[in-house]
């Protein structure tokens, strides 16, 4: 038996963040990962042809670059090889009439583009951006605090002192509003609304879903203010740097060692048993970076005293499924909307709110959407090192999709098994892309398609291809993530803790839950 102060299950970026901070505070830590490589959903590989580096799932590292964890360990991470590439032209949406609208870090460039279609909305964008400048410290302070906590209360108190009661009411409305309601109150032009609302589908917020306004607001304004960031050579640059830093601080990383169960003694988690029979003891904490349904459905023995909690965990809903299509390209797409689009990190193919509402409704009904929303990442426009000279990669995220297929909304694809239909559905996606960028298919050298089922096989935490580790609707967010009463990373099992996207503050690459948990555990030690 080997003993550590803390054992972390899963080498995703939240688990690594937790381990690094605990190691920095003098704890002995082991991170145990069932796969042969760390990273969870943050992985990069040659999924098509040699020399073409594709981010498997996560590509956008802006949340990591802006995180408290990165601010704390920035110099050390850079010393361990972390490389970030900024994007000044962040995201754009293309529309059916062959035009586009995008956001860059140049306010005048963004406002000028909006001005060309609506002078009223150009003024509204300036006003919203000015508000963001004073709102951001309070909102990000809340997102960076455990929920609930004295720290969160202090953020709200400071906001009230500086901004007044009216601001608290307005912010609460923003947290509860749907994207459509928030955008209709601010803007007139449908293209501006569609450009911002597309961010809602990155989570699981169709235009009409309550609680979905915050993410489009924050992403739009944060990209305007700070730009977007991707990883130099691939998103896995953060994982390489984090594992290097962990080991430099004395932490141990065990790869290819699946955990079979959490060891218990008198209702307390005391370590883990590996699939090979080895037992790793934890003196102070077992930290799970696994999905709660996996932890309490497979790794922790059932306990009648915990029946209510276990039932709530089992009911924790996944978000919609996702498909990833990775393309090795002879060149970037020639967008109908103009050459300037080749310089954007993201191009959203989600041309109007009606289409976004329709795709969500179809997916929730178990149907393959007729016209899915596409997030087209163009990382080699920013970082040519990801492909051989003169070549490119495209990162195509298809949103939103059913985990289980009941039929095809267009009635043209037969079959209800993802293994059977994924290539045909990928063809539909590329046909849509071809409509907005003619000649794209002729530039494809090779492709790799990951259906929702493939993504879950790759990473069991992505249940049904849900890359959010659980819906972010209001009943599963804030104080209710993942279970009401357990939003502060504790579980009913003493010394057993949760972190990861299924816990507050949710999905993304911000390392928030892992870092907050580690600070709570280590205190000032």
Pairing of strands 279-288, 2-9: parallel
2-45+63-84+234-316+469-522 CATH fold? FAD/NAD(P)-binding domain (3.50.50)
Region at 49 (left for phi over 0; alpha for psi -120 to 50; beta for the rest): beta
Distance CA 280, CA 288 (A): 14
pLDDT at position 524 is 60
69, 515 contact by CB (below 8 A): yes
pLDDT at position 39 is 97
Can you spell out the DSSP letters for 373-406? EEEEE-GGGT-GGGSSTT-EEEEEEEEEE-SS--
Nearest one of 41, 89, 81 to 382, comparing CA atoms: 89
Using CA atoms, how far residue 433 sits from 281, 421, 442, in Å, is 52, 19, 12
328, 393 contact by CB (below 8 A): yes
Q: Give the single-character DSSP code of 441.
A: G
Distance CA 24, CA 32 (A): 18
Which residues pair with residue 375 across a beta bridge?
Answer: 348, 397
pLDDT at position 438 is 98
Q: Which residue, chain included where needed, has tokens 């393309």?
A: 327
Q: What are the start and end residues of each CATH 3.50.50.60 domain in the chain?
A: 2-45+63-84+234-316+469-522
Distance CA 492, CA 506 (A): 20
**Taking the CB of residue 479, how many other CB atoms lie within 10 A of it?**
13
Which residues pair with residue 394 across a beta bridge?
Answer: 327
pLDDT at position 163 is 94
Which residues pair with residue 491 across a beta bridge?
Answer: none
This prediction's pTM = 0.97
Using CA atoms, how far residue 499 sits from 277, 490, 507, 515, in Å, is 25, 9, 11, 9
pLDDT along the chain (525 residues), means of 10: 94 98 98 97 97 98 98 98 98 98 98 98 98 94 95 95 94 96 98 98 97 97 98 98 98 98 96 97 98 97 94 97 98 97 98 98 98 98 98 98 98 97 98 98 98 97 96 96 96 98 97 98 78
Q: What element of type H or E holds 456?
A: helix 452-458
Distance CA 380, CA 263 (A): 46
């Amino acid at each position: 038996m080997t003993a550590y102060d803390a054992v972390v299950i899963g080498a995703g970026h939240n688990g690594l963040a937790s381990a690094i901070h605990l190691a920095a505070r003098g704890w002995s830590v082991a991170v145990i990962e069932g796969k042969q490589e760390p990273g969870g959903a943050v992985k990069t590989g040659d999924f098509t042809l040699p020399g073409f580096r594709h981010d498997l799932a996560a590509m956008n590292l802006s949340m990591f670059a802006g995180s408290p964890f990165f601010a704390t360990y920035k110099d050390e991470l850079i010393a361990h090889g972390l490389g970030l590439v900024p994007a000044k032209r962040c995201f754009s949406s293309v529309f059916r009439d062959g035009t586009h609208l995008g956001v860059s870090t140049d306010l005048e460039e963004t406002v000028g583009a909006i001005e060309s279609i609506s002078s009223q909305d150009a003024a509204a964008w300036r006003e919203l951006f000015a508000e963001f400048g004073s709102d951001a410290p309070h909102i990000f302070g809340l997102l960076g605090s455990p929920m609930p906590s004295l720290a969160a209360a202090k953020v709200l108190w400071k906001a009230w002192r500086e901004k007044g009661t009216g601001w608290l009411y307005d912010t609460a409305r923003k947290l509860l509003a749907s994207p459509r309601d928030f955008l209709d109150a601010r803007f007139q032009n449908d293209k501006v609304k569609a450009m911002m609302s597309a961010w809602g589908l990155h989570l699981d917020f169709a235009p009409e879903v309550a609680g979905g306004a915050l993410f489009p607001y924050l992403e739009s304004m944060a990209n305007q203010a700070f730009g977007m960031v991707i990883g130099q050579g691939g998103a896995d640059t953060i994982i390489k740097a984090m594992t290097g830093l962990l080991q430099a601080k004395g932490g141990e990383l065990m790869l290819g060692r699946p955990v079979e169960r959490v060891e218990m003694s008198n209702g307390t988690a005391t370590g883990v048993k590996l699939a090979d029979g080895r037992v790793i003891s934890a003196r102070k904490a077992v930290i799970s970076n696994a999905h709660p349904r996996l932890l309490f459905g497979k790794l922790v023995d059932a306990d009648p005293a915990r029946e209510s909690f276990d039932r709530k965990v089992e009911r924790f809903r996944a978000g919609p499924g996702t498909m990833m299509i990775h393309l090795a390209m002879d060149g970037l797409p020639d967008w109908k909307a103009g050459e300037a689009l080749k310089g954007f990190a993201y191009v959203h193919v989600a041309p109007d709110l009606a289409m976004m509402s329709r795709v969500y409704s179809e997916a929730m009904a178990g149907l393959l959407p007729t016209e899915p929303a596409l997030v087209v990442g163009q990382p080699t426009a920013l970082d040519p090192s990801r492909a051989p000279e003169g070549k490119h990669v495209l990162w195509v995220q298809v949103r939103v999709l059913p985990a289980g297929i009941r039929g095809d909304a267009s009635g043209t694809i037969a079959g209800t098994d993802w293994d059977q239909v994924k290539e045909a559905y990928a063809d539909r996606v590329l046909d849509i892309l071809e409509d907005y960028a003619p000649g794209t298919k002729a530039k494809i050298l090779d492709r790799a398609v990951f259906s929702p089922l493939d993504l879950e096989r790759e990473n069991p935490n992505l249940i049904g291809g849900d890359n959010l580790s659980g819906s972010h609707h209001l009943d599963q967010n804030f104080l209710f993530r993942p279970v009401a009463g357990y939003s502060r990373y504790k579980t009913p099992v003493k010394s057993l803790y949760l972190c990861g996207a299924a816990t507050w503050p949710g999905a993304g690459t911000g390392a928030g839950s892992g870092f907050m948990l580690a600070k709570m555990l280590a205190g000032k030690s």
